[in-house]
Amino acid sequence: MDRNQIKKWFKEPAKMANKYSLHAIYFCTGCGIIEVPPVITARWDAERFGVIPVATPRQANLFLITGYVSVKTLRAIIRTYEQMYEPKYTVGFGSCPINGGMYWDSYNTIKHLDKYIPIDGWIAGCMPRPEAIFIAVTHLWTLIDKGMANAYIKYRENYEFYRRNQEMALGKLEWPPLYPIQSDVRTVENG
Amino acid sequence: MVTKVIQIILSPVLALVIGVFFLGLARKIMARIHWRYGPPLIQPVIDMIRLFYQKSVSHGRMFDLGIILSLVGSVVVVLFMPFGKMCPLRSSGGLLVILYIMLLAPLGLAFSGGQGANPNISIGVSRKLILSLGYEVPLLLVLLAVMTHYKTISIAEVVDVQQSTGWSIISWPLFLSGISYLLILPAILGIRPFDISSAPQEISSGPMAEYGGKYLALATIEHAFVLFISIALFVNLFLGGAANPAIFFVKMLLVFVLGLCTNAVFPRFRIEQAIKYLWKWPTLLSFLGLIIALAVRS
C-alpha cells in the first residue's frame, strides 16, 4: 500500500476499502471466462490488488460479464446482479456485451447489455488479454475515486426502463421488482 | 480485581488482533507457496471495512442472533484460554467448560444458516456437523489422556506443570496424544484437506452462502477467533504454554505455518474420505495414548 494514501484512508474509508477489496463473483457467463483463471492464479496474480473470486453474489461487489450473453444467461445475470449488495460494480468484458460482436445477427444473444443492467465500464476486444482486466480494475479505481462508478444508483433511478427492457427480452419475469415501479403505483391509484 | 477486569477486556481484543493477523498471513503465505506476490498483510482488514460499509439484508431474527451467539461463544472461550500467563478466568472452569462452549460457535452459524433458507447452507452445515463428529472422537480421547496424566481438569494447571517439567508432546506418556492432536488440527481449523464444509467451488462456501455486508464481516471475525482458540488449545496442552505472551505468540505462529503448508499442498477430501481418515489413524493413536497414560498413572 502506498504510504501517502494513509490520509485518504482516514478521510474516506468506505471509498478506499471499496477500491482495494473488489470481490468478483464466480459466474461463467460466456467464453471470456477462460481469461479469468490466469488472472487469479500464479501468472497474473490479481490478489495483490485485492481482487479475488468469491462464490456467491451476496459476498461479491464486482460482476464481470465475460463474453456473449444469450437470452437464457441474461435471466441468470439479472437475478445475480439484483442479489448483490450495494455498492456494486459491473464490467462488460469482450466485444459481445458491447454491441453483439461476432454474434451481431444471432437470434439468441443480447446485443446491448447496458439496456438490461447498468454497466460501469467496458473492456473491448475479442478476446481481451488478461492484462486488460488489470487496466479495467485501475480504471474502476479512478471512477470510484471520482464518484463516477455509480451504475447501481442509475439502476435504482431508472429501474422502470431496465425492467421494461428485461420484460421485452425475456417475456414475463417470475420475480418481483427490486424497486417500486411508478406504473404499478399508477394502476393502484386508478383502480 | 482491577487487573482481572483489564485482562477480561484485553484478552478478546488480543485474540481478535492475532486471529486477523493470521488470516492475512495465511493469504500471503499461500500466495508465496503458489509463487505469487500475494495481497498486503492487512487485506482482511480492508475487506472488513468494505463489508461494514456495504448494505446488507437480514433474513430474519435468528439470522442476526445466530451469528451473535457464535461470536459470544468464541469470546467466552477466549476468556478461559491461558495466553502466556494471562488467563482472566483461570480459577474457574477448565477443559470441560472449554469443550462445551466451543460447540456454541458452529451451533450459532447453523442456526443463522437455517434462517437463510439456502440449500447450499444446509449441505454445508450438515457436512460441518459430520466432520465435527469425525474429529471430536479423537479430540475427546486426547483430552482425556491429558486430564488423566496431569490429574486435573484445569488448563491453567496443565500449563503450570509443563512449565516445570517440560513440554508434554516430548514427554513419552503424551507423545502419541500430541501427534494425534496435530493430525486432527487441520480438521478443527477447517483448512484443506478438510475444507469440505466451506468448499466454494462445490457448495458456494456452504454456511457463508447468504452472508454479505456486515454479516460476512462478523463471520470473518468469528473465523479469526476460531483460529486463535484451536491453535492456542494445542499450544497450551502440548507445547507447554508460555511464560509470556510473546513466546506464546511465536509458538502459535509455528503451529499455524505448519497447518498452512498442509493447506497449500493438499486437495480436498470427500466427506467419507475425511471420516475414514479421522476415525482411523488419529483415533488409533489417541486411544493408544490414553491407554499409555492410564498405565503410567496406575
ipTM of the complex: 0.84
- Among A20, A55, A61, whose Cβ lies nearest the Cβ of B46? A20
- C-alpha–C-alpha distance, residues A96 and A109, integer Å: 9
Which residues constitute the domain of residue A73? 3-190
A89-93 vs A62-66, strand pairing mode: parallel
At residue B110 the predicted structure's pLDDT band, cuts being 50, 70 and 90, is: confident
At residue B236 the predicted structure's pLDDT band, cuts being 50, 70 and 90, is: confident
Residue A26: all three cell numbers together = 464466480
pLDDT of residue A104: 85
- Among B49, B53, B212, whose Cβ lies nearest the Cβ of A58? B212
For residue B195, the tally of other CB atoms under 10 A from its CB is: 22
Q: Calculate what percentage of chain B has a pLDDT beyond 70.
A: 100
Best mutation target, B28, B50, B55, to test chain A (most A CBs within 10 A): B50
Q: Are B104 and B75 in contact (CB under 8 A)?
A: no
Closest residue in chain B to residue A60, using alpha carbons only: B212
Query: Count of domains in chain B?
Result: 1
At residue B284 the predicted structure's pLDDT band, cuts being 50, 70 and 90, is: very high
Distance of CA B276 to the CA centre of its chain: 21
Is residue A140 scored above 70 in pLDDT?
A: yes
CATH number of the CATH domain containing A62? 3.40.50.12280
Is residue B21 scored above 90 in pLDDT?
A: yes
How much is the mean pLDDT over chain A?
Answer: 85
Which residues constitute the domain of residue B85? 2-297
Is residue A68 scored above 60 in pLDDT?
A: yes
For the whole prediction, is pTM greater than 0.90?
no
Closest residue in chain A to residue B46, using alpha carbons only: A17
Q: Determine the average pLDDT of the residues in A34-48.
A: 87
At residue B221 the predicted structure's pLDDT band, cuts being 50, 70 and 90, is: very high
Contact between chains at B210 and A56 (C-beta distance less than 8 A): yes
For residue A75, the tally of other CB atoms under 10 A from its CB is: 17
DSSP sequence for B260-297: HHHHHH--PPPHHHHHHHHTTHHHHHHHHHHHHHHHHH
Query: Count of domains in chain A?
Result: 1
Cβ-based interface (< 8 Å): residues of A facing B = 1, 13-14, 16-18, 20-21, 23, 26, 41-42, 45, 47-48, 50, 52, 54-59, 61, 84-87
